[in-house]
Structure 1
Amino acid sequence: MKKQIFALALLSLPLIVMAKDSGYGNTEWGMTPNQVIAAQKGKAHLIPPQKYKDQWGKASIEDVNIGSGLFTVTFIFDASDKLVQTNVASKEKKNEGIVNDQFNNLNQLLTQKYGKPQFVSNEKVTWKTDATTIELNKMIISGIMAQTLVRYIPNKTVISDTSNL
């Protein structure tokens, strides 16, 4: 009997691990800024709060090398200091050619990691996992700005945001 219970526990372990509300990297949705920093194993640090609509960027990782580009990761929290979004923004903010290359490269890398996207356009690609929606965006205003952004958002937020549509 003990062997059967042990075998059942071992078989259930992958399901328990997969059931986490995983966000970007080693984070989980609902973590506090200090938990995010601990989960990122010293790569992230606290930053002065930056306003994002009704949320706050409070932790960051600078100079993350992805593909051939440098990015800044910003962890965004709600009013109760719970992780609700992660932005991965290119440090490139002007060169349209570089931003186009970054967008194409990230599209390829994210497709390798998450599989076929659920939505594709010239400026936006979206993937969905059990807990997270990943949006790759390319923003270009010719001669003014150009940037690539990846947003990691909990699925429950996306469902809430679209509930009245």
Structure 2
Amino acid sequence: MDLPDNYGWVLFMELLILVEYYCTVIYVGYARKKVFTPKFMSENFGEEFRNTFRRDPDPLGYPDMGNGRFSEKLSFADWYYFNNAQRVHYNFLEGIHIPLVCIPIGGVELEYYTIGLAAAYIAGRAIYAIGYTRVGSKGRLIGVGILDLALIGLVVIAFISSIFMVYN
């Protein structure tokens, strides 16, 4: 099987998606560090933690993912901020398999369409993340529209490309 001359760009788009995903990981880590400070953990759980585990609480509120025992003590603003960051990350994780599978398949036969749709997906994901973390769930709507249309396009392109590969 011969790959198109621009297939490197197809793979580059895949890597950009992974970089964008890790940006959400970093952002959640930043949000966790901001709300689950050592002072917060010690003031709210220090005694209980020391009595139970004979040590100080774990830093950064682990293993709380935004809806657990540690989060119950957060102010509403901190809880909301942390959960929005966490939701952006989870949403990315829940759907990352679709572009990561469809892009290399679509790029074999229809590389220019694949590159364009992958770029739209990346832009939509960025708009989604920025909107959701700054405004809340309503802030994600433009981004989710762009990325969902790009995902549908990527699935269609991968399907068409695979049919081309079967018949060639």
The answer to whether the superposition gives a TM-score over 0.5 is no
- TM-score between both structures, scaled by the size of structure 1: 0.24
- Structure index of larger Rg: 2
In terms of fraction of residues, the more strand-rich structure is 1
